Amino acid sequence: MRIIAGTHRGRPIAPPRGTDVTRPITDRVKQAMFDRLWAMQVFDEVEPADGETGVALNVLDVFAGTGSLGLEALSRGATHCTFVERNRDALGKLQHNLDMLALTGQAAVLKSDVVAGNWTHLAPRKPIGLVFVDPPYAMTDEAEAKSRICTIAQQVATISAPLATMMIRTRAAVTAPPVEPWITLETCPYGSTALHLYQLPDV
């Protein structure tokens, strides 16, 4: 696994130990995802390191694993990322990746079970402008499990900015779940996986 683009382009990152707990995203799918986010101007006018101009882009990486998506966002210019993960092995490798890339000052790591309750008040940087929700496939395959993802998305919406963008990853055969108040934008299939893009209304 590696960082694809940005200030840490080409740097390797520690992968998860196995796919039973985390499900690594391939470089091809990650590149396609960030190309789409770039085209949507998600990273436009992001606050630079000196903080003199632009706006902050706070990212939330839910079911973060070892941090591949949030780390990529930070490398491409995001201001801050809050990583949420509960698996001890994945958390250890996530912290290793942050240390290795010298990104601990732009990150917070929450050891939380996102399904068990409302944890969003623990996020230190708000409002959130970009959200990654990358759960185990089993959580998006069945109706009852999908409802949990919808609950998470509703909770995240309470700390997100107007026009915030959210990505949910599922198997390719899974229909994008409606998650109010998020507006479904599009579904992008890539082989066996699908990326579902949402946006909060501008209110």
Within 8 A by CB and 6+ apart from 138, the residues are 145
Asked whether residue 171 is assigned to any structural domain, the reply reads: yes
87, 22 in Cβ contact below 8 A? Answer: yes
Query: What's the farthest any 2 CA atoms get from each other in the chain?
Result: 47
Classify residue 124: in a domain, yes or no. Answer: yes
Specify the 3-state DSSP secondary structure of 184.
strand
Q: Tell me, yes or no, whether 90 lies in a domain.
A: yes
Classify residue 21: in a domain, yes or no: no
Q: Does residue 201 surpass a pLDDT of 80?
A: yes
Q: Cα dist. 152→22, 131, 192 in Å?
A: 18, 11, 24
**Is there a contact between 193 and 69 (Cβ–Cβ < 8 Å)?**
no
The CATH number given to whatever domain includes residue 98 is 3.40.50.150
- Predicted pLDDT of residue 137: 78
pLDDT in tens, 126-182: 999 999 999 887 777 766 667 888 889 999 999 999 999 999 998 888 888 888 899
Whether 4 is in a domain gets the answer no
pLDDT of res. 152: 92
Domain-embedded: residue 13: no
Question: Does pLDDT of 104 surpass 70?
Answer: yes
Mean pLDDT for the stretch of residues 40-50: 79
Is 122 a domain residue? yes
User: Phi/psi at 121 (nearest 5 deg)?
Assistant: -65, -15
Per the listing, tokens 């109706």 go with 143
Supply the pLDDT for residue 125. Answer: 94
pLDDT of residue 144: 66
In whole angstroms, give the CA distance from residue 160 to residue 157.
Answer: 5
Asked if residue 143 is part of any domain, the answer here is yes
Residues spanned by the domain of 192: 28-46+53-199
Element (H, E) at 164: strand 160-171
CA separation, residue 131 to residues 49, 117, 151, 167, 178 (Å): 21, 18, 14, 6, 16
Cβ(127)–Cβ(166) below 8 Å = no
Q: Indicate the number of domains in the chain.
A: 1
| Residue 21: per-residue pLDDT | 47
Phi/psi of residue 175, nearest 5 degrees: -75, 145
Mean confidence (pLDDT) of the chain: 89
Dihedrals φ, ψ of 141, to 5°? -85, -30
Q: What is the pTM assigned to this prediction?
A: 0.92
C-alpha span between 97 and 189 (Å, rounded): 29
What pLDDT is recorded for position 149? Answer: 86
